[in-house]
Amino acid sequence: MSRSPLDGRGRLRVQGFDGDTESVETDDTTAPTAPTAATDRRAWARFRRDRAAVAGLVVIVLMTLLAVFARPIEVGGVVVQPIALAPYDPAASGVAPTYRPPSLSHPFGTDWAGRDVFSRVLYGGRYSLSIGVVAVSLALVVGVPLGAVAGYVGGWVDEAIMRFVDVLYAFPFLVLAIALVAVFGQGFWKLVGALVVVGWIGYARLIRGEVLSVVERDYVVAARAVGASDRRILTRHVVPNAVAPVVVQATLNVGTVVLSAAALGFLGLGLQPGTAEWGSMLSAGRDTLVGGEWWVTVFPGLAIFLFVLAINLVGDGVRDALDPDAGPDRYRTREAR
């Protein structure tokens, strides 16, 4: 946002005369302290009061449970999860005639291969959920250390890492992901890999900026004065205090990543074609609509929409809970990526 040299001026406000309740007393002397159990509890209390965020969390938990219990899970031949909420195998074709409209036995109808769309939508949550969570976590694992080191060490290390980040930033998120999928090929881990390569740069940039402001704080100077090692200062004092905006951004990004993965699936570039992934299920697209088979398109899309909406609600709630002073749009600027 615009920052003028005049920003610091006139911050003294007489409270009570202002109709504007959102005007906050700015007090630059209170440096945030290291997160403690008490601040975590307060954040959780704020989160719980946010009804939209709690609703989002409920939706995510429900969709996760539905995905987990959609079909039995076997690990190495041992059934660890025997429940099957989905009435049919999502991959089984010909469980009913093709393109049956929604009915009692097939609530979401059947698709061109006679597969049960309801079972596929339930099961498809597994792909979207795991891709979103795994890709964002791995991007954090790459981006946070690199960004933190760049900001803390400075000099040529900083230059090298951040110029590389600048170059990657030149590529639009989806276009680069598409190009990478083209090179790597299709499949779950290749798709996740592509999303990590395009995703880590945002966290690196964000945490570097935070680190630059945190290293100036008194407790870091104090830690250095008593002879703490750089590694200890960075991992114990700097990163924990710099990580909150990254957590918010990461939560919101799960939505963006799920959307991108679904878009790749829609384009036929994500997982193997025919996978019960929500985006891939829409790839027949317009042809089914013109034929009148709207249910093939409407239900999987609705699942993506609900899931991404729920994540964004939770992300907004986490942001407000961790940083109540920030306006509603503080971390939104880069979300477009």
Partner 1 sequence: MSLRRYVLRRTLLTLPILVGVSVLTFGLVKLLPGTPVDYVLQFQEATPELRASLRAQYHLDEPVWKQYLLWLSDVLRLDFGERIVSDRSVSAAIAERLPETLVLGGISFLIALFVGVPTGVVAAVRRGSLLDEGSRVVALLGIATPNFWLGLLLILLFGVHLNLVPVIPPVAPVLAPESLAFLVLPAVTLGTASAALFTRLTRSAVTEQLRQEYVRAARARGLDERTVILKHVLRNSLISVVTVAAVQVAFLLDGAVVVERVFSWPGLGRLLVRAILQRDFPVVQAVVLLVATAVVVANLLADVLYAWLDPRISY
Instruction: Report yes or no: 204 and 147 within 8 Å, Cβ to Cβ.
Output: yes
CB of 194 to partner 1, least distance (A): 11
The radius of gyration of the chain from alpha carbons, rounded to an integer in Å, stands at 24
Q: Out of 14, 16, 25, 286, which residue is the one contacting partner 1 (CB under 8 A)?
A: 286
| Mask for 159-198, x = binds partner 1 (CB under 8 A) | ----xx-xxx-xxxxxxx-xxxxxx---------------
- By the rule CB under 8 A, 101 interacts with partner 1: no
Q: Closest approach of Cβ 59 to partner 1, in Å?
A: 11
Closer CB to partner 1, residue 240 or residue 285? Answer: 285
Residue whose C-alpha is closest to residue 109's, from 288, 258, 309: 288
Given the rule CB under 8 A, which of 70-78, 84-92, 116-124, 303-311 is the region that contacts partner 1? Answer: 303-311
Residue closer to partner 1 by CB (options 2, 30) is 2
- Determine which residue in the list 144, 254, 304, 314 makes contact with partner 1, applying CB under 8 A: 304
Cβ-in-10-Å burial (0-12, 13-18, 19+) of 194 comes to buried
97: CB partners within 8 A, 6+ apart = 110, 114
Give dist(CA 283, CA 266) in Å, integer.
Answer: 4
Residue in 327, 314, 284, 1 with CA at minimum distance from that of residue 132: 314
Size of the site for partner 1 (CB under 8 A): 65
Instruction: Identify residues 311-330 at the interface with partner 1 (CB under 8 A).
Output: 312-313, 327-330
Instruction: Return the amino acid letter for 185.
Output: G
Nearest to 276 by CA among 134, 127, 135: 127
In the complex, least distance from residue 207 CB atom to partner 1, rounded to whole angstroms: 20
Binding mask 251-280 toward partner 1 (x if CB under 8 A, else -) reads: ----x---x--xx--xxxx---------x-
Judge contact between 247 and 318, C-beta under 8 A: yes
| Angle formed at CA 318 by CA 315 and CA 320, multiple of 5 degrees | 110
Q: Residue numbers of the site for partner 1 (CB under 8 A)? A: 1-6, 9-10, 20, 22-23, 163-164, 166-168, 170-176, 178-183, 255, 259, 262-263, 266-269, 279, 282, 285-286, 289-290, 292, 294, 297-298, 301-302, 304-305, 308-309, 312-313, 327-330, 332-337
